[in-house]
Amino acid sequence: MTIIMSGSYLIICFLSLFLIFTPSFTIVFGLAGCRPDQIQALVQFKNEFDSSGCNQTDYFNGVLCDNMTGEVTKLQLPSGCLIGTLKPNSSLFGLHHLRHLNLSHNNFTSSSLPSEFSNLSRLEVLSLSSNSFIGQVPSSFSKLTWLNQLDLSHNQLTGSFQLVQNLTKLSILDLSYNHFSGDIPSSLLAMPFLSSLDLSENYLTGSIEVPNSSSSLRLEHLSLSHNHFEGQIIEPISNLITLKFLDLSYLNISYPIDIQIFSPLKSLLILLLSGNSISSTSLSSHSGVPLRLEKLGLSGCNIGEFPNFLKSLQKLDFIDISNNKMIGNVPDWFWKLPRLSTVTLVSNSLTGFEGSPEVIMNSSVKILDLALNHFKGPFPNPPHSLTVLSVWNNSFTGSIPPAICNQSRLALLDLSYNNFTGSIPRCLSNLQNSLLVVNLRKNNLEGSLPDNCYDGALLRTLDVGFNQLTGKLPRSLLKCSSLKFLSVDNNNIKDTFPFWLKGLPNLQAFTLRSNKFYGPISPPNQGSLAFPELRILEIADNKFTGSLPQDYFVNWKASSLHMAEDGSLYMGDYTEIPGYIYEDTIDLQFKGLFMEQGKVLTSYATIDFSGNRLEGQIPESIGFLKTLIALNLSNNAFTGHIPLSLANVTELESLDLSRNKLSGDISRELGSLSFLAYISVAHNQLKGVIPQATQITGQPKSSFEGNVGLCGLPLEQSCFMPPTRQPKEEDEEEEEGVLNWKAVFIGYGAGLLFGLLIAHVIASYRTKWFVKIVGPNKHKEVDPACRPDQIRALVQFKNEFESRSCNNSDYFHGVSCDNTHDWCCHEAKTPK
């Protein structure tokens, strides 16, 4: 009997799942151990929100049910699935047996934290980070007495910390990136099992209270960075002797920190003090510093000399002393620290190295960043185990050290913005199994670009711009199939357009500006330029010729860009380089300015074909490029009209079509481009009225000058032009006919014969009649030489404005007309 009931129960469960989740069998089997009522509650919870952005097949993969009772005990939903308001009557709060709940990285649209969370009294882990929660944490949270992990970080919560006082089992508490304020009570630090406390990025002020019996505490991880403390907090913290990790960066305190005060923290491994002022006396002393330190952050601490106390930290593997005021040479003893792995000395005024050229060669350093200093002279032989070498923006001279090629794990080589000379080492090809980035931009390198690409090469970025390279682009680049960013701009390379680079499946940005490239940029078959992933193409200031076929832009990736598959926002976000952030740099002529842009986004497109000899019509297929933000076709010989399809490029911010041979008018649809901040069509053959849209009339008049036929704002040339002259007799006949019909209409009620009589009288004195109609005063009449159609235009012009403040008797006194040609003068002035 028991067996039969169990079988029936399983069948009911399966049927319930089948009815709810068919045809997704993955989900069915994932919840096979859950009771039907529990499954129904889960589905109901899901339906309370917009979950269209979820991967539906993975939605319930984070659900775990008790094998015996079928109750849901764990719920961990995929990130970004739920959009909407978390209401107090949510079915979530009916899952009373939950022990682990993770709803992080959703969007509960500024919901308050419901007090009904207290219904889940068996919770041990609760993570609600990054959910846009607002307001105070309900006092009912204190009923969750089984909690050992609570994460409310990255919300907009306010208030103090009274809520956690009863949570005596709490081990990990993360309240970072909120709006909590006030003091840190001693009761918080006295919690018997608390090992990790993160209160960074809040509005905490005042002081910190440490319980007297701190020896019984278990706190190992404490982060108070980016707050607004006013009182003394450093000395109380020095009593937390169990600490291993301490982050006090950017405390906004008004007094300098003496590093020796942390000497009681014998277990301290990581100390982060960036953004504070450090006492100068503590920098030179070897005593009183926690000797077990492995990582030390001193960025932006107003340090003027190389810290001498580092000499005693024999276990140090990470040091950041960037953004300080250190001058002179790096001492030779520094490179002898036995475990040194990551060194960041960025943004100082250091000029050299003490010791011989081999001083750093035997160092254990793996990541070495010396950027933005004043180093000069030849670069010393690098350490053997480097993975990152960045020395950009210094004054190093001489050739690139061949010893760099001996690095078997080098992933990033950035020697840009120096004065290196000679040729690019061919031996860099030895590093094809490790190198991801080679940046040699803005040096004085000569020769040709070597064949450094072989099958299986991992290279993602190659930037050799602003050197003196010659020759042609090597076809071996095709073997660097992972290449995303290629820049050879501002060299002396002489070659035809490399259509063959379309064989690179991942190429996103390609710039060869200011070289000696020549010939057509249209494919030999005169079709679309179909690079699979290309979104940035800069080929300005070369000698390209020919025209572009109408379907030239049809197959461009820029027609619809999405988030990169790896989730990266910027080109150069290479996660394969741990512990270092690299930025690709591109020179872009944008909004009329020539600028250097770092952090190049992966989600937009730019095109610059300026300064060549291109001709023919601009292809209408340009309208397919929905994510184009900058288009520069200036200084060419394009003809025809401005493509109407440009109105479809809704993200466009900068448009430069100046110095071509474009004709026709400016489409008023261009005024609908709401992001268009810069437009220049100067020095073409355009005509007609400039569209009076905010994005266009707000431009300087230089953006439209050099077009004889253009008129209207922002140009000073008025669009009120004299009409085409008709023969005098024809004019008189036309006016006479119009007046006759008006008279007929006036006289219709009194009789047709009387109307015709009036018409004859009016026709005889038509000039005088018009004068009396339009002249506001019988004593001030319009010049009788003015043609009737000209008088009507003057009256219409007056009626376009509020003119009550005018002296109507003098309104037309300033009008005179040509007696010979019957044209109205252009210098009519309206009295003030």
pLDDT tens figures, 634-654: 999 999 999 999 999 999 999
Distance of alpha carbon 741 from alpha carbon 758, whole angstroms:
11
Confidence of residue 705 (pLDDT cuts 50, 70, 90): very high
Tell me the domains of the chain and their CATH numbers. Answer: 7-179 (3.80.10.10), 519-535+545-711 (3.80.10.10), 765-832 (no CATH)
φ and ψ at 139, to 5 degrees?
-65, -20
Confidence of residue 78 (pLDDT cuts 50, 70, 90): confident
**DSSP notation for 33-82:** TS-HHHHHHHHHHHHTSB-TTS-GGGTTTTEEE-TTT--EEEEEPPTT--
Cβ neighbours, 10 Å, residue 146: 15
Confidence of residue 287 (pLDDT cuts 50, 70, 90): low
Cβ neighbours, 10 Å, residue 633: 24
Confidence of residue 791 (pLDDT cuts 50, 70, 90): low
Distance of alpha carbon 402 from alpha carbon 380, whole angstroms:
11
Confidence of residue 198 (pLDDT cuts 50, 70, 90): very high
Distance of alpha carbon 535 from alpha carbon 606, whole angstroms:
7
Contact 150, 126 (CB under 8 A): yes
Residue 308: the pLDDT is 92
Distance of alpha carbon 595 from alpha carbon 597, whole angstroms:
6
Distance of alpha carbon 454 from alpha carbon 464, whole angstroms:
18
Residue 440: the pLDDT is 97
> Could you tell me the two tokens for 305?
């000399």
Mean pLDDT of 198-206: 91
pLDDT tens figures, 477-536: 999 999 999 999 999 999 999 999 999 999 999 999 999 999 999 988 777 888 888 889
**pLDDT over threshold 80, residue 797:** no
Mean pLDDT of 687-702: 86
How much is the pTM? 0.78
Residue 743: the pLDDT is 37
Distance of alpha carbon 108 from alpha carbon 83, whole angstroms:
6
Mean pLDDT of 533-545: 94
Residue 784: the pLDDT is 58
Per cent of the chain over pLDDT 90 is 50
Residue 703: the pLDDT is 92
